[in-house]
Amino acid sequence: MSNPGISPFHLAIPVDNLKKARQFYNEILELEEGRSSTHWVDFNFFGHQLVIHYKATNDAEKAHSNLVDGKNVPVPHFGVLLDWESWQNLAYKLTKKGVEFAIAPYIRFKGEIGEQATMFFYDPCGNALEFKAFKDTSQIFAK
């Protein structure tokens, strides 16, 4: 299936503290804020629409992870594919800001098909984020 172009996606995620989440996405990720109300905030998430919605916590919802590349990858998670240089710049900024990584920035499959940079961290409400970059973007879906 060919993709004639990439359309922006819309993703709405729950947060149990709107103020802390808003500060994180504004100040740590440096995202531009769009519309908002007392219960939700829109952000420009690298050209996509991310909405944080207030939702009270539910103790029945437990964190889960899958072992990938010897590391516990949080499930679910979301993020965006950046170009290699933008990923490096973001990793540097997040490190300087003292972000606590679930999986620190590193390179997977170095020198192999699908070589990629990746990092995982959580927002203050427990949403897992992954940011990736492929050395060769033509290999994003390579086997």
Note the pLDDT tens digit of each residue in 37-90. 899 999 999 999 999 999 877 554 556 888 888 888 988 899 999 999 999 999
CA 143 – CA 99 distance, rounded (Å)? 32
| pLDDT value at residue 108 | 93
CA 117 – CA 81 distance, rounded (Å)? 10
| pLDDT value at residue 27 | 97
- What number of residues does the chain have? 143
Mean pLDDT of the chain: 91
Residues 117, 139 contacting (CB under 8 angstroms) = no
Q: Residue 40 falls within a domain, yes or no?
A: yes
| pLDDT value at residue 143 | 79
Q: Do 96 and 138 share a domain, yes or no?
A: yes
Q: How far apart are the first and last CA of the chain?
A: 16
- Beta strand 78-82 with 128-134: parallel, antiparallel or unpaired? parallel
Q: Do 77 and 24 share a domain, yes or no?
A: no
Residues 133, 81 contacting (CB under 8 angstroms) = yes
Please give the biggest Cα pair distance in the chain: 48
Q: Do 96 and 123 share a domain, yes or no?
A: yes
Q: Do 142 and 78 share a domain, yes or no?
A: yes
Instruction: Work out the percent of the chain whose per-residue pLDDT is above 70.
Output: 92
pLDDT tier for residue 92 given thresholds of 50, 70 and 90:
very high
Its domain, for residue 41, covers 7-56
Location of structure tokens 């952000």: 43
Give the type of residue at 59.
Answer: D
CATH of the domain at 106: 3.10.180.10
**Reported pTM:** 0.87
Give the type of residue at 133.
Answer: A
CB neighbour list of residue 111: distance below 8 Å, 6 or more residues apart: none
> What three-state secondary structure class fits 75?
strand
